Structure 1
Amino acid sequence: MAIQTALTQAQQLYVAYYGRPADEAGLQFWADKIDQNGVDAVVNDFGTSTEFEARFGDLSSEELVQNLYQQAFGRPADAEGLEFYTERLDDGRLTLAEIANTIAGGAQNDDITVLENKVAAADLYTEAAGEAHSGTAADKYATDFLADVDAETDVDALDIDAVVADIPAGAPSDLTEALTNLADAEAGVTAALAAAAETANAASENPKEGDELEDEIKTFSEEDLNAAIKTAQGEIDSAEAKINNETSELLGSRGTEFSDAGNANLGDDASEDATAVVNGLDDTTFDDGFDSKGESVKDQAFDLGIESGDRLTDANIAKAVSEAQKAVNADKAQYVIGKNGDASLADSTTVKDADTDTFTAKALQIKANNAEAALNADVSANGSNAELLKDLRTAITDFASNGGDLNTDTGSAGEYSDLNALLGGINDTLKGKEGAESVDKLVAKFEEGEYDLSDNEDAAGIQSAIEAVEQRNELTEASDKADTAFHTTETGGVLEAAEELQSERDEQIEKVSDAEDAQADAQSDLAELNSAKDDYDAAVKTQEDAEQYFEDNDLQLPVSLEDSVIATEDNDIFLFSGEEATVAGFGAEGDDQLFIGTDFTWSAVEASVDVAGDRVGDADVQEVFAQQVGNNTVLSFEDEAFAGNAQNGSDLTEVTLTGVSANDLSLSDDGFITVA
């Protein structure tokens, strides 16, 4: 049995934190805890409860602090105290329970008198009420009783027996609590499965969107949740195996010698590339040739400093790229570009011929870089090749929609000689149809002037789109030619070999990184799914407990409203579930009740009012609007507090009671809608 000090501290916490006297069992429980561990050790556990969430869960930090002052002292918080505690609640330095304990413990002057009177009155209530205090209705009644106790109250003169005699009967309160728990549990089950469905969908190979996703969420079951958890675990295991495999290949490749590059998983041409790097630019790689000064090119050999026995480490590959670039920069040889686009060393006659363009390897590299930059700029400005083809397709379909003839000649003598054929070819390519040309190959067919509709004013959009594709083809060809010219120079060829080794190594590293990312994603998915499973299990347990109440009291389980339901001749209890529904025969034979909870305020509106469009009601409370529509009553439930809904009608959920007059309906304090 707890000592009196602990009992007083527990009662004081109830007064300050919940604004009501303790129930008998709760007082003894928390007093024992305080007696064993001290009030500071248990205060935060005390502050965690479904009662707190139900009564105060929607309040702001400032409102919560203000409420503590009202409950403890019957007055608003002073500005300094309000700011001080609100700030500490927001930044997490103090919990609300700690603040309540601190405020009560620091009472001064009249506040001491008020708090002492409230605690004394609460003690009288708790002792006199005993088991008569049960349920949410009793909590509300006790809160109202204690709110009237102030500094002027003569506690000894209170007729506590009369107060206790008026405590609401337990059964209706218990029913309300059971229905509230059942509604919350059903909503919790739905929310948990919806969260799991969205996680599983996002992780799938082909995520659904829009209506398909909504249908998936509605039908997602516990079996689907368990299967999704199993799939996520499988993805983690698969990623782990891939990480190990890719890491092993990477480490093996790094330990391989340049002379054995073919076994380093660096691509089909790894041996050839590694050989070019190892050989560097010794004088056996040059044909006879002369630089601009007439000196033999053989005298310009470069050594990259890589030996055949060196290993294919990241550092050695990076060194090869760096040294090869230095060789390009230092290469004084002059090159000419042949008809096939390849570069070759100029001889002494060519160098002296003023009509023949000659280039150094560095000059050709600059041309290649500039051509690539121009291509990239065009892609950035106008989109990828596929996007250009989509734009052309849109231009053609717009032309047809405006009365244009798809048999119009495109000016091409090839297979796409009219717009209909061109449109079909584009569609086949974009869909990836078997046998169709690739996107890049189709774009390559748009040589300048190949397709010309410039004489057709109605096809101006098509002509503009064609010219954009032609420009892309031209820029692509220019970049390819410049790249070929540079990489067929002696030093450019070696740099290309080194860069290909670097590219392959980067791909190896990226494979490891991708596998690690895949594992991290799967682990995140599994964590979210397990969290949803925990929420689901907890909601199911709450649901079972609530349903047990109905079984223990020989009551019929309530019917959750969804779609269309029909009232029976019995006294039916319907449960508002947040879904659109129609109820036929409500109150026609039995004393039916529709439980909507205590969050809603009743608001009767005229039939002419557009509840979804007009600003009606009170913006500060969550309302249910009752409206007569023909022979039926339409109940429109706000999803949150606002004055009607001038923004979005979907924020209202409608339940229709057929054949019921709105004037005959009423909403009780316990949250039941009934027919008078």
Structure 2
Amino acid sequence: MATTYYNDLQKLYVAYFNRPADTKGLAYYEGVLEATKGDAKALATTMAAISADFSTSAEYKAAYANMSNADIVNAIYQNIFGRPAEDAGKKYWADLLDSKTITIDNVVTQVAAGAQGSDLTAFTNKVNASLAFTTALGETNSYSGAKANAEAKTFLSGVTDNASYANATDPVMLATTVAKVNLAGTPFTLQSALSNKAAADTAYTNFLDGLDGKVDGKFNTGTDKVGTDQAARDIAEASVATNVTTKMTALDDQISGTSYASASAGVRAALLADQQAANAAAVTKAQGDLTIANNKLAAVAGLNDAIAAQKTADANVKSTAATAASAATDVQLKLAAYNVLNKTAIANPAAGVYTVDGLIVNDKDKGLMLATGVTEDTNKGVTALLNSLIAEKAADTAAKNAVTTAGTAKATVDLLDLSTAAKADMAEIASKMKLAEGTIATAAQIEAQQKGLDAAAVSAKAVSDAYPTAANLKATADAQTAASDFKALVTKLYADDNADPVNANPLIKAQADATTSLTTAQKAVTDLSTALSDLAKANMTATQLEAVKTQVTAANGVFDANKLGMPVTLDADHKAEVASAGSDIYVAGTTSASIMNFGLLGSDSLYINSKNTYSKLITTTDITKGDPAALEAFLTTNADGNAVITLEQKAYGSNSGTDLVTITLTGVTDVTKVHLNNGIITVS
């Protein structure tokens, strides 16, 4: 069946009746629209006719009987948007209806077409929820009648915003809704009541079973059988409530002030809003502080580039050190291999030593090479050892150079981002170097200045040594003092700048602190969001549990409403039952059992068709004579003459004598009085 116009048709069902379409009605009107073969004019005319048809239907007349036009308009708004009509809109449409300027189908069409904002969201969600409902409903015909419609309307009335839509269409919640609708729309028969109870019990059990993420007949540890163990079911139910408490406590930790967990709903909303606002403000402040810190860093010419160069240099130190370590290991391996090949015991060279006595020498011009007379033929593996030592030396040299480069890079950063104590030292150094006030000397400039002063001192001493006049001796002393004082000042500069490593680079520290604050603030936002999501999921699970329990209660309530006893499943706890004088109901399980006085004192029933396979009861004295490939139910008698119902649990069960469940009807000796009808065994 095509579904091209399902969405448009669901809109009409929502607007007029506040319920999803039933499968029959939807299929019928879909066929009517499909008959237009997509012709735009015919399609519009047909859709308008369907809308008018809705407005004259018996369901419409029953729903809006004795209502004023204003009340009808209000109901349409409530159906479409989940809210009453605003006074102006209600009056506008009601006046048009009162004057017979338009008909109700025009109102429905135009009000729906004009939806926007939250109204459009609500209408869209209601239509999509209706589509999900009808799809989940399948081909069942039980969605009909006032009771079923009432359940469907309750479902749709709860859908407005995205959160309520997600809750309503959650697979568990949707399945529960469909089950409630089916139950409400199904006329009572023992067969339907038992089927509904079986479905409800299965949904409940599977839900508990699936709490650990998989439906496998086990709960949490993989040892508790939730299908048969009520204690395990109780544990599973308790875990749902515990999870809500745990998630609530976790959220409570994210919200300062009065306890969120113990507050009322109104106070919770206020506390949450306050915390979210505080978190947002903290992020904004941290972002502002980081921007300021970044701007201050950028204002120092070359500082960002120097920081990047230092990071690269530091990374290179790690990389070259790792390469050097790997090269040293390789030397050990090659030396071990050499010793095995040549039956020697040469020890690994000490760190920084790349020669091996008698094997590998260090030529001042050619570098590492094999000693005279040593070849691969005379010393197996020596070439590999030589190459490994050459690689180690190169790696060690690269590692040392990397350390030197990293030191220079750090010095460059330090000079561009001085501590408070070092700034005064730099001002004096810049003055000694005759740099413009406020200028920060580079490491290269300082080094050049020191070399110049040292050279001047050496030159002056040479002159005074040759011509030891008073003037020359004084000039030598002054030059040496200048060189010494400058060196001392530079030493003090670096000492002051590194005296407090945490504050050695104030601009960089401010940036790091701002970055940390921003990360912390953003984490608070994320943690709160995660805690809210986790609590919502926990609450959703609790809601789902209540839904499936409600489904079970409703399915069980049918028996009481029809003055019937609650069905008893024949399991390990109910293997020997005694029928009462009332109408007892038993359900065959996977355990063999006996029922005394079945059908003898009251109108008792035994439901065997839970697998929808046993369509007839085969009376026989030899159950192995049945159809081997089919699942069958047999009626025999035991040695005491009592009727015995034998149910195969799998094909070929009666032939192999395994996978059989027997139910002995103690006291029933006339098998001609045992009947199977619609999966239910009774005794006439």
Report TM bin, short chain: 0.3 to 0.5
Find the structure with the greater CA-based Rg: 2
Larger RCO (alpha carbons 8 Å, 6+ apart) = 1
Q: TM-score, normalization: structure 2?
A: 0.36
